[in-house]
Amino acid sequence: MPRTRASRASSFADDAAGGITERVEDPSDPEEAPPRKRVRWDGSGATPSNEDEDIDEDSSTNLVEKVCLAATCQFGRVACAYYDPVKQKILYFEDTPENQRFDLTRTFLEQTSPDVVLTSSKADDNFMDVCRDHMDGSGGTFQVRPHKDFLPLKGRDRLLSLRLLSELPIDTTDQLEESESEPRNAYDFMQRRREIGGDPLLQKWNASVRLANFAAVESSPLCLGSIGALLDYLARARAVAELDDEGVGGLEIAGIEQISLEDTMQINADALFSLQVFEDENHASIHSDKTKEGLSLFGILNNTKTTLGRALMREWFLHPSTSLSIINGRHDAVECFMRPDNITTALSMHGHLQGTKNVPRILTTMKSGKAKVSDWQGLVKYAFHALLLRDALAELNHAGGVVIVRKLLEALDVATLRQLGNTVNATIDWEESTNAARVCVRPHIDEELDNLKHIYHGIDSVLSKVATQISGTIPSDYTSSLNVVYFPQLGFLVCTPMQDEWHGEAGIQVLDGWSFQVRTLLTSSSSHVYFKSPEMHDMDTHIGDLHPAIVDREIEIVQGLQEKVLACALEIARACDICAELDCLLSFAAASRAQDYRRPVMTERNVIDIKQGRHPLQELVVDTFVPNDSYIVGGAGIGVIVDDRSVEEDDTEDDRYQGQNSVVVCTGANACGKSVYLKQVALIQYMAQVSVSRAFVSAESATLGVADKSEFFTRVQTRESVSRVQSAFMIDLNQVSLALRNCTARSLVLLDEFGKGTLPADGAGLFCGVVKHLLAGGASCPKLIATTHFHEVVHGDLLNPDRLPITFLHMQVLLTVDSEGVLDSEYDPENEVALQVSPSEKITYLYKVAQGYSLHSHAITCAELFGIPRRVTARARYASELLAKHEICQLLDEAMSDVERQELGDAEEVCRKFLAWDLSEESGRVQGDSVRETLKVILGRS
């Protein structure tokens, strides 16, 4: 049967490739005739018969129905990619930090429900165990592939080989007539293949450029490797099932998308960079690769005291929750901690958290048997501070409905913590452990250990007596002094100084019954020699090797104590996770108190309503920050009327609610604060719902809708690099393309001066095209905030504010003359005329948003403010005025000499006289040579 044959061949191909496979066999299907081998090439116009179609469909059933996932985890980061056979799409998950419980791994395994899971041979062992256990429970296939299949470079090459990226749509109407004729020789055949398939180098270049349109994986090596391994597996399976090995290029991939985990939002790296959520500063020394957090949103909100809290906060920033119940629950906690009567208690709780260590790491070290004294000390400190933390929780006011408080009170069991701390503290001798650099046990814990230590500590007197006895039995001239010493592993030895006569040819003299053991060199002129005597052998037999016996017994006691601790490891780990969450919430509360953040109202409505909003980073670096309002609704495209106001808002006459649009276009002078305003709105939404969906926001009040899987798409900053094959403008286009492909009605799209990297006419056209494309989505139109200097878009049918649902805003400026008199604002809603700033006038930025649009950027005045020489700005102003009057040709006159200028004037006079000649009166009587005479008269040349 075709299906059985394909399945067996696939199994053989996988095993031959060197992979380690664990699979569950599917029930066999009824026998059918084997498929016929088919030979085809791209230029053929043959159409398969119905029989061939049925056979091909049956033979590839296994391949089509199976969901294959490739994943790997290394150095605490996880990435994956899987193939959706229904939509024929590749879905990827970028490199992301993973915790010790592998929550992300479990989440995407449960969400994707794969039939086949591939992983690298160098992946984390615990990660492999999680994947293997999941596939054993689901009855799927788990396969460990060689690490070379997961190399990032190979993954990128395979990704660029996809026809989705390498081949551009072409018009084949001109090739229909030529395709009917068969190739006459091999040269024609190869030429036809090149015409149809295209140049391989050009295809690879196209693919590298278009890759960013679908996915931002260039900075995710694990993700690239996973995609490469997935494509390689799919190509092998297709080759076996269809007997047609075209490699990765033959795969039918309809699209590439990012995996959206349930109740979790994914934010791409460009958005995080543009909004300055993270900012790594390099070490001052070129010899160090360490970094620290600079001025960023994460930096000002990260006041965590524990390692687990810091890691959890970063995880919240990267993968925020979209669950409204979780968001409101954490808002309740922050509000409780910010109450005036709870501030002292909150500070005390944060201090107790600082005293705790990374207990999950300590438990992991104990499981491996490598726990040190510091690990046991950290465990005792955790028990002590956890008890104090629980007492502090009981002192909180109005905390009955706070989820985190209730969870922590349930997790912190007083009896268990007290018993844990007392048992460890009563067993381990901290002072002796510090001196011995190992874990030592207190006295009176074990009788056998106490006896061994008693003998070991009293051995000095015994050694002295034995040394005295031996001294009386040896010749008096044998040595000047004699000692009996004890060495672990070597036992008891007789020690004598090295005699001078022993340096000769005879060597060291050994007494009868003694045996030479070792010689130690103290200095260049002195050394000691060690012997075993019959008395030493007797002591080895009756007393034994004390130190190893003591160490072994202490190891046994500590091992028993370790088993008691690990018996409650799950409860301790759960309590530590809740403490990490409490650490984050206390950190947000501290930042909210310091920066005067307010609690937002989170709603299911698709709206952003901000009053007196502030940029959380910009306000820290300026003396005075001017707050602004913002109002925008989602899903209000062309043909859709949205009334998203609540009952309280309906009673107000606020101008912000007059135009409930999804698109906001902000104009204004250069350096007037447009970009800050644009980022401000996004960061407030980010603080409330995305990165810190547990903290307050930098605004007087805010009503914000809960976002979906993909909230933010930005075209704000361009990250150029010589390693990328795209220009700055191409990078901008990739960012916009990614937004257009993935945005939804609940997404927020930011466009900061999109189109500025090309000709003004082309840039304005692209800007208008993107805005109209989003508006044409109707109810699917996302929330769009854009800034632009293309003032011509408000005229005609481009972005007419009277015809399209667009809200136009501008940043106010104040124009003054040298006498400090105020001229006017730059916007006149009646005649829509922008005032020009003369050289004697000055501009003052007010940084205040107002309704309407501005028609002048005041770029020349801005250039003067920032140090451009006045002679340069004067020339620029003159050229700008000529451009506005369409008299730019006057600039050509400046390079002429006096003679050339005179000749140009004469030519102009001749032209004017000729144009003034009325030919209608002269046409009837001017003929032949008289024409020249008439021209001479008219032109004044007679």
Reading phi first (left if > 0) and then psi (alpha if -120 to 50, else beta), residue 885 is in alpha
Mean pLDDT value of segment 48-73: 59
The model scores a pTM over 0.85: no
Residue 721: pLDDT above 80? Answer: no
Residue 216: pLDDT above 80? Answer: no
Residue 628: pLDDT above 50? Answer: yes
* pLDDT given at position 791: 86
Cβ 662 vs Cβ 805: under 8 Å: yes
Cβ 777 vs Cβ 637: under 8 Å: yes
Of 188-202, 213-227, 792-806, 827-841, the poorest mean pLDDT is in: 827-841
Q: Of 190, 197, 289, 227, which Cα lies nearest the Cα of 95? A: 227
pLDDT, tens digit, 9 for 90 and up, residues 842-853: 788 899 999 988
Q: The tokens of 585 are what? A: 């919430």
- Which residue is it, tokens 């925020």? 320
Give residue 618's identity as a one-letter amino acid code: Q
**Going by DSSP bridges, is the β-strand pair 783-787/748-752 parallel, antiparallel, or unpaired?**
parallel
- Which residue is it, tokens 């900075």? 219
Residue 55: pLDDT above 50? Answer: no
Q: Which residue has the higher pLDDT, 721 or 521?
A: 521
Mean pLDDT value of segment 218-239: 87
- 322-359 in b/e form (b: 16+ CB < 10 A) is bebeebbbbbbbbbbbbeeebeebbeebbebbebbbbb
317: exposed, middle or buried (C-beta count within 10 Å: 0-12, 13-18, 19+)?
buried
Alpha-carbon distance 512 to 533, whole Å?
Answer: 9
* pLDDT given at position 65: 61
Of 145-149, 154-158, 324-328, 669-673, the poorest mean pLDDT is in: 324-328
384 C-beta neighbours (distance < 10 Å), count = 17
pLDDT, tens digit, 9 for 90 and up, residues 393-416: 989 998 888 899 999 999 999 999
Ordered strands of the 89-97 beta sheet: 20-22, 141-145, 116-120, 68-74, 77-84, 89-97, 255-258
Ordered strands of the 701-705 beta sheet: 601-603, 701-705, 607-613, 628-633
Residue 176: pLDDT above 50? Answer: no
Reading phi first (left if > 0) and then psi (alpha if -120 to 50, else beta), residue 886 is in left
- 869-890 in b/e form (b: 16+ CB < 10 A) is eeeebeeebeeeeeeeeeeeee
Cβ 223 vs Cβ 55: under 8 Å: no
* pLDDT given at position 933: 77
DSSP H/E element including 574: helix 569-595
Reading phi first (left if > 0) and then psi (alpha if -120 to 50, else beta), residue 800 is in beta
Long-range contacts of 858-866 (CB under 8 A, 24+ apart): 858/669, 858/670, 858/813, 858/826, 859/669, 859/670, 861/669, 861/837, 862/669, 862/670, 862/671, 865/671, 866/671
pLDDT, tens digit, 9 for 90 and up, residues 888-936: 777 777 777 788 888 888 888 888 888 887 777 555 555 556 777 777 7
Residue 39: pLDDT above 80? Answer: no
DSSP H/E element including 846: strand 841-851
503: exposed, middle or buried (C-beta count within 10 Å: 0-12, 13-18, 19+)?
exposed
Alpha-carbon distance 472 to 492, whole Å?
Answer: 18
Residue 735: pLDDT above 90? Answer: no
Alpha-carbon distance 497 to 507, whole Å?
Answer: 14
Bridge-partner residues for 196, per DSSP? none
Of 216-220, 516-520, 780-784, 903-907, the poorest mean pLDDT is in: 216-220
Cβ 520 vs Cβ 487: under 8 Å: no
DSSP H/E element including 683: helix 674-685
pLDDT, tens digit, 9 for 90 and up, residues 796-811: 678 888 888 999 999 9
Cα 638–chain centre separation: 34
Mean pLDDT value of segment 817-841: 48
pLDDT, tens digit, 9 for 90 and up, residues 333-380: 888 999 999 999 999 999 999 888 889 889 988 988 889 999 999 999
Mean pLDDT value of segment 746-766: 90
Alpha-carbon distance 441 to 38, whole Å?
Answer: 78
Mean pLDDT value of segment 550-578: 91
Q: If pLDDT is split at 50, 70 and 90, which confidence band does 554 have?
A: very high
- Which residue is it, tokens 């220009």? 727
* pLDDT given at position 376: 94
Alpha-carbon distance 146 to 127, whole Å?
Answer: 16
* pLDDT given at position 63: 44
> CA separation (Å) from 192 to 98, 165, 507, 624, 804?
50, 21, 94, 69, 49
Q: How many helices and strands, by DSSP H and E, does the chain display?
A: 36, 23
Cβ 694 vs Cβ 316: under 8 Å: yes
Alpha-carbon distance 265 to 566, whole Å?
Answer: 35
Q: Which residue has the higher pLDDT, 60 or 102?
A: 102
Q: Which residue has the higher pLDDT, 57 or 317?
A: 317
Instruction: Concatenate the DSSP letters of all residues of 450-506 into one string.
Output: HHHHHHHHTHHHHHHHHHHHHHTTS-TTS-S--EEEEETTTEEEEEEEPPGGGGSSS
Q: If pLDDT is split at 50, 70 and 90, which confidence band does 654 have?
A: low
